[in-house]
Structure 1
Amino acid sequence: MIGRLGGQLRILPGTVIGWDMAAALALGDALGIPPLAMAELLPVIEAVMVTKLNEQMDQANG
């Protein structure tokens, strides 16, 4: 599921702020992932993803 959320990023100029959670929850539902699992795991994974993507963008921009 996480690999499928790449197109659902919420972005401000120069920074990633997270996923579109409505889209993430809809995708998880369509894939049959229990809502409790999504509620527990998505915010934690999102936080790591945001940190890493922003670090990569900072390094690329010097």
Structure 2
Amino acid sequence: MGMMDKAKGALNSDKGEQLSDKGLDKGEQFADQKTGGNHDAQIDKGRDFADDRIGRPGDGS
């Protein structure tokens, strides 16, 4: 298996999904802090969009 196939497999695993969700949650919190919560809806939408592109779609928080 190539390196990209291994990476995709890791992200599609349960542990990979949990790690990607954790990273996206941290990024969302960071963005909320930096904007003072003024763009909460847009940040949530961006987090959900990224989650659908990483790992298994629809499994995010």
Question: Do the structures match in fold with TM over 0.5?
Answer: no
Select the structure that is richer in helix: 2
Indicate the TM-score class for this superposition, using the shorter chain for normalisation.
0.3 to 0.5
| TM-score under structure 1 length normalisation | 0.40
Q: Which has the higher contact order (CA 8 A, sep 6+)?
A: 2
